[in-house]
Amino acid sequence: MILGIETSCDETAAALVTQDGEIVSNVVASQAELHARFGGVVPEVASRRHLELITPVIREAVGTHEIDAVAVTSRPGLIGALLVGLSAAKALAWARGVPLHAVNHLHGHVASLYLQPLDLEPPFTCLLASGGHTMLLDVADRTGYRVLGTTLDDAAGEAFDKGARLLGLGYPGGREIDALAKQGDPAAYRFPVARVPGLDFSFSGLKTALLYAVRDLPPDELAARRPDLAASYQRAIVRALVGRLEATGADRIAVVGGVAANSELRAALPDAALAPLALCTDNAAMIASAARYTEAVPYPDYLSLDARATA
């Protein structure tokens, strides 16, 4: 039984996963409401909230179970937020005399596909689209991945969040745009899909295009046009992501990360392996899952492990 701990951004999460990838418990305390009034995650506010939540969240996830190992996100993420999870993980592993796995958050997202009942077997080409990252990955085995392409500026989730802000919607913006887009016409506006060489992505031009469209509207018309703007904007992001996946020519495709929860993206990829909805956004089950394919750091070496902001 592996205890996973995840505190890289604004979710405080803990989960129990078996060696076979069965989820025994999966607790996620989202701080989204706390950050909503700032329109985005405030790192210091996140760290303090993680400190308050980490013990009750771990306690709820563990219950009365015995644990054989602790897995924790050690990179990439907000450094103060990561340190809360890493410190808790070290203390627990030490107190219980079990090894520690330091997990890369991005490997965690990919490993959401290795949990039961999906249990996806590599090789496949994976789109990882979240608030912090947008990458195309070549996954040859479960121990890692090779990066084929990445975003040159904003991540896809960041594009959703910034777009939602321009439209006066709440945070996090992906879910809000997804919902509003259902009432709009995706062909109402022709937003650009950036032409970037190779397999990289770019979303900053799209964001600017939305800014201009919103700015050019008389204030009283914005409310009426909002669903069309949301639908057209979402269409442009989905076209960019699907276009890149098609450009790889891969026949086995998987999608993970917060943006994998997007209903239009899911519908556009009927043959792809999609992370289950509950495992798209940040959670600790995927971290424990990745730990099954990551070498354990023995006691006492893990006491000197550091968190890192970058992957």
Size of the site for ligand KG4 (CB under 6 A): 19
Contact 269, 253 (CB under 8 A): yes
Is residue 173 near ligand KG4 by the rule CB under 6 A?
Answer: yes
**Alpha carbon distance 223, 43 (integer Å):** 32
Residues 6-35 interacting with ligand KG4 (rule: CB under 6 A): 9
Q: Considering beta carbons, is residue 21 or 77 the nearer one to ligand KG4? A: 77
**Applying CB under 6 A, which of residues 7, 274, 282, 307 lies at the interface with ligand KG4?**
282
Residue (7 or 130) nearer to ligand KG4, CB:
130
Place of tokens 């070496």: 301
- Tokens (6 digits) for 112: 């959401």
Select from 107, 175, 207, 225 the one that contacts ligand KG4 (CB under 6 A): 175
Q: Which is nearer to ligand KG4, 85 or 157 (CB)?
A: 157
**Location of structure tokens 């060696």:** 19
Q: How far is CA 118 from CA 25, 123, 165, in A?
A: 17, 14, 35
| Partner whose footprint covers residue 161, from ligand KG4, Zn ion, none (CB < 5 to 8 Å by kind) | ligand KG4
Q: Does 261 bind ligand KG4 (CB under 6 A)?
A: yes
Q: Which does 281 bind (CB under 5 to 8 A by kind): Zn ion, ligand KG4, none?
A: ligand KG4
Answer yes or no: are the C-beta atoms of 173 and 226 closer than 8 Å: no
Comparison of 160 and 201: residue with beta carbon closer to ligand KG4: 160
Which is closer to ligand KG4, CB of 85 or CB of 257? 257
Nearer to ligand KG4 by Cβ, of 282 and 296: the residue is: 282
Residues 6+ apart with CB under 8 A from 132: 9, 76, 77, 155, 157, 158
For the chain, the residue count is 311
154 near ligand KG4, judged by CB under 6 A: no
Figure out which of the listed residues 53, 257, 285, 291 binds ligand KG4, where binding follows CB under 6 A.
257
Contact indicator for 248, 218 with CB cutoff of 8 Å: no
Contact call for residues 245 and 201 (beta carbons, < 8 A): no
Q: Which of 157, 163, 186, 227 binds ligand KG4 (CB under 6 A)?
A: 157
User: Is the peptide bond prior to 197 cis by the omega test (within 30 degrees of 0)?
Assistant: no
Q: Per CB under 6 A, which region of 13-21, 62-70, 137-145, 251-259 contacts ligand KG4?
A: 251-259
Note whether 186 binds ligand KG4 by CB under 6 A.
Answer: no
Could you tell me the two tokens for 158?
A: 């960041």
Q: Omega into 172 within 30° of 0, i.e. cis? A: yes
Closest separation in Å from C-beta 301 to ligand KG4:
27
Out of ligand KG4, Zn ion, none, which partner does residue 72 contact, by CB within 5 to 8 A per kind? none
Nearer CB in complex with Zn ion: 154/282: 282
Task: Give me the phi and psi of 221, to 5 degrees please.
Answer: -90, -20
Distance CA 270, CA 124 (A): 15
Please list, in sequence order, all residues whose beta carbon lies within 8 angstroms of the beta carbon of residue 295, skipping any fewer than 6 positions away: 101
Per CB under 5 A, residues contacting Zn ion are: 130, 282
- Pick the closer one to ligand KG4 by CB: 125 or 281: 281
Contact between 101 and 19 under an 8 Å Cβ cutoff? The reply is no
**2 interacts with, out of ligand KG4, Zn ion, none, CB within 5 to 8 A per kind:** none
Report the run of H or E that residue 263 belongs to, with start and end. Answer: helix 263-268
Binding site for ligand KG4 (CB under 6 A): 9, 130-132, 157, 160-161, 172-175, 178, 257-259, 261-262, 281-282
